[in-house]
């Protein structure tokens, strides 16, 4: 990964952390996490997806994490019980909320999904997608019960 992408990742992380008034207070211990030392973990619900927890606890409350989708990956339409805020770091992500038109988000783009809003996402076919995901509450992927539209980009 180029130094430019790593630098952009760190700058976006700092931006979301500092600007977000909703972010939880830091612990008493300083944290610096170089990209090469990040412990990417396979997602339990979506095995093709990897995550690096950054702060908080996704199982119980406010948190932030880096997520990585393989090129072309598209989970089915779904929703989350808490607000989901995303900043794209690398790659291109197509998003669609309910019946809205698809939006294409490249590096530096922002998306905010209110709780319990049906949405679909798809990582572009050219390269993997890395994004910062923050939420004010627990993270869960709930399959959509509404009639599913095709995934964005199809």
Domain spans of the chain?
3-22+39-143
Give residue-wise pLDDT tens across range 93-132: 999 987 789 999 999 999 999 999 999 999 999 999 999 9
Is pTM beyond 0.85? Reply is: no
6: helix, strand or coil:
helix
25 DSSP 8-state letter: P
pLDDT value of position 89: 97
- Quick one: which of 55, 66, 74 has its CA closest to 8? 66
Is residue 117 a contact partner of residue 97, using CB atoms and an 8 Å limit?
A: yes
C-alpha span between 31 and 68 (Å, rounded): 21
Return the pLDDT at 25. 53
Nearest of 81, 65, 74, 127 to residue 96 by alpha carbon: 74
Residue 84 has pLDDT above 80, yes or no: yes
**108 neighbors 87 (Cβ within 8 angstroms):** yes
Superfamily of domain 3-22+39-143: Jelly Rolls (2.60.120.10)
Q: What distance in Å separates the CA atoms of residue 117 and residue 131, rounded to the nearest whole number? A: 19
- Residue 56 burial (C-beta neighbours within 10 Å; 0-12, 13-18, 19+): buried
pLDDT value, residue 45: 81
- At a CB cut-off of 8 Å and minimum separation 6, what does 17 contact? 23, 64
């Amino acid at each position: 990964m180029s130094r430019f992408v790593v630098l952009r990742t760190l700058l976006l992380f700092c931006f979301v952390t500092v600007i977000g008034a909703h972010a939880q207070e830091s612990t008493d211990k300083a944290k610096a996490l170089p990209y090469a030392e990040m412990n990417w973990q396979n997602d339990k619900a979506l095995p093709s997806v990897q995550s690096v927890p950054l702060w908080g606890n996704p199982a119980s409350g406010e948190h932030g994490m880096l997520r990585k989708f393989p090129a072309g990956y598209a989970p089915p339409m779904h929703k989350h019980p808490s607000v989901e805020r995303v900043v794209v770091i690398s790659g291109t992500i197509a998003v669609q909320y309910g019946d809205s038109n698809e939006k294409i988000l490249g590096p530096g783009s922002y998306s905010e999904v209110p709780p319990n809003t049906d949405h679909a996402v798809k990582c572009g076919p050219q390269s993997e997608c890395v994004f910062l995901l923050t939420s004010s509450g627990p993270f869960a992927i709930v399959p959509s019960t509404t009639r599913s539209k095709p995934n964005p980009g199809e």
